[in-house]
A and B are shown apart, each in its own frame.
Chain A
Amino acid sequence: MLLLIQYTLIFASVLLLVALGGCISEHSGVINLGLEGIMVVGALGGALVMSSLGTSSAFVMVLVAMLAAILAGMLYSCLLGVAAIHFKADQTLVGTAMNLLATAAATVFVKAMNTAANPDNHSSEIEYISARKMFIVNINGFEFNWFMLVAVIAVVLVYFLLYKNRLGLRLMACGEHPQAAASVGVSVYKMRWTGVLMSGALGGLGGLCYILAGVSVWKFENGVAGFGFLALAVMIFGQWKPTRIALAALIFGLFRALSNTYTGFPFLVSLNLPGNVYNMMPYIVCLIVLAFTSKASRAPKAEGIPYDKGSR
């Protein structure tokens, strides 16, 4: 049971961070379908720090790894920013390309790095056993991960940013009616860049959190298994509102955690279902939930539409 709570919380943290990133970006008017790729790049940034920093204090390690993930995510999100904000590219297409590119590039990069270190090593794995321990505080068998705290802080910050702050209100105006925002002197380009970069930062952080969730070695060929898209589903279920997103993330986190821990419940084991059923669970739940919640969608009105100064 404790294990289930632990996994639920850590997976919820991943989904929450990434969904908040998607939420800010969409409020500014840019659909960020590249979150999946941003997660991979953020995870890569964090993993590189974790494997190379070696022995240092836990505080420094956690801080530097998180910063690296944030920075990597922000840098990568620039690909979306340039294409979607300045070149009016199709945001769905660019996001998809970013997802494919991230996994391919990370694989090529890690393999090259491993091969350079040891000519016989052609794997795409990075190990961070000792570093992972620094993220975790063991409380009576419950493994508290610092990311759980970070996720809670992120909800509060995003809430205040969006609703209690001049920047956030301006940013949301650009997602609802950019021409109206521009007419009162708000720079739509600047606001959309803010949204995209913030989603890059949160997405990168979420990516690092994801690879720290259950394992100490990550194979970059595998990407992040659709988590970026699950996070988008969490965002839609949460109706683009930070507090509701937090609740949605907990529900999805629970179903994801079940696939890691179902063997610990005699009741579930006695059902004798194949393990793949539990693997499918989060995606099936997601579809059902979306089917019931998408009708009354509160999506920002101008999301996905390239900003054109001249249009009405």
Chain B
Amino acid sequence: MRKVLKNEAVQAFIASVICILLGILIGYIVLLFINPAGAGESIVNVIKNFFTWSRPASQMKQLGNTLAKTMPLILCSLSILFSYKVGLFNIGTAGQYVAGACASLYAALAWGWGWLPCVLFAVFAGAFLGTITGLLKAYCNVNEVISGIMLNWISLYLTNTLLTNVKETASPYTLYLDKTNPKALLPTLGLDTLFNKNANVTIAVPITILAAFAVWIILSKTKLGYELKATGNNKNAAKYAGMAQNRNIIMTLAISGALAGLAAALLYLTGYMRWECTQSSVPSMGFNGIAAAFLGGLHPLGAIFSSFFIQHITDGGQYVNTNFYSSQISDVISSVIIYLCGFVLFIKLTMKKILANKEEKKGAK
């Protein structure tokens, strides 16, 4: 037992579970504070999400919708954690995601491209935006958080302007993908039949899982990953060891941006969501990626599970009793979880201390 507890991965897992439980508890307290009558039922609904439906068929359908949104979230959290491992906090993921949405939708709706070129174009757009942040960081010493935020807003307004060309005349939303250009829809590979013919479950699932493994392998098994991590740990030491520090920074942010761009393409090309051209805030997907990345212990495979959890409760937010509460309660829970993730280091240290103390006592006996 003690040996298990000493394992880094197990400690990270316990710390994440503590964060989740505290986050849900605080969400529950907020609901109690607003109206004690329905708080219990609503928080249970948030956690149950698709299980609130009684028929198994509807449950599968709703699970499919949650999965469709989980895939981009996984990719966003991969984007965040990839750059974080290199010592860069890429908050620009949110904007790179927007750029990906813009590129994929514009290519699909205005130029009538097929799905694969659309996806690649979105990847390129995200990487391009990431490269800008990288260049600014490497050559002008601009803090990547601030330039990332600025680019988030710039890309939001740019996207709104560009996608206005392909929107419906009567509404602020972009045209329906399945009516305008069905060949841009992602192929389902028969996955839709597993989820009660939910066409939102597509090739995105295998692509995302592959991406997670690829990021894991790059970071832990290749020379490139080693160099990138070394740059993150101590850039002066890395430079001294002959690693191209500037190139590494730019490359990291480009890859990070590419992942975010891919995320957007894999959501918007399912036709599940349409872009609203009057949107006044950056979509929260990129920011939720931060929560998922840290909750997953900054491990690519951990990100898969944490992303599912975050998306699960975010979708669960719509099942609260809207007579008293609003669905944003899930945003409160996930942001509290991000905040608590700041304490993970402390939780781990405490665990180590307790274990060490116990061993010392045992040794004294």
Contacts and interface: CB of A to CB of B under 8 A. Distances in A.
A294 B338 CA distance: 29
B176 interface: no
B209 interface: no
Contacts of A280: 153-154, 157-158
Nearest to B325: A112
B34 A87 contact: no
Interface stretch (B104-112, B141-149, B167-175, B258-266): B141-149
Given A89-B345, A90-B342, A105-B332, A223 B281 contact: yes
B149 A108 contact: no
Chain B facing A: main interface SS? helix
Contacts of A305: none
B107 to A, nearest CB: 20
B339 A112 contact: no
Interface stretch (A13-21, A62-70, A92-100): A92-100
Main secondary structure of the interface of A (DSSP, over half): helix
B294 interface: yes
A58 interface: no
B343 A96 contact: no
A226 B146 CA distance: 10
Given A111-B326, A115-B324, A294 B339 contact: no
Interface in B17-44: 30, 34-35
Interface extent on B, as a size class?
Answer: 35 or more
Size category of the A interface is 35 or more
Contacts, number: 153
A96 B338 contact: yes
A279 B282 CA distance: 14
Nearest to B333: A104
Contact of B325 (A79, A108, A225, A277): A108
B335 A107 contact: no
Interface string B305-341: 0000000000000000011111011011011101101
Given A101-B339, A276-B161, A287-B147, A222 B280 contact: yes
A44 to B, nearest CB: 14
B336 A92 contact: no
Interface in B279-308: 280-281, 284, 287, 290-291, 294
Given A92-B89, A294-B140, A276 B150 contact: no
Most chain A C-beta atoms within 10 Å of own C-beta, residue among B150, B160, B325 = B150
Given A97-B335, A108-B329, A290-B147, A225 B342 contact: no
Contacts of B154: 280, 283-284, 287
A124 B325 CA distance: 12
Contact of A96 (B34, B287, B324, B336): B287
Contacts of A277: 157, 161
Interface of A: 33, 79, 83, 87-90, 92-94, 96-98, 100-101, 103-105, 107-108, 111-112, 115-116, 119, 122, 124, 221-223, 225-226, 229-230, 232-233, 236, 274, 276-277, 279-280, 283-284, 286-287, 290-292, 294-295, 297
The 10 closest A-B pairs by CB, nearest first: A89-B342, A104-B331, A97-B339, A100-B335, A101-B335, A97-B338, A229-B149, A111-B326, A276-B157, A112-B34
Given A93-B294, A93-B338, 10 more contacts: A100-B291, A100-B334, A101-B332, A107-B331, A112-B326, A233-B150, A277-B161, A287-B150, A290-B142, A295-B140
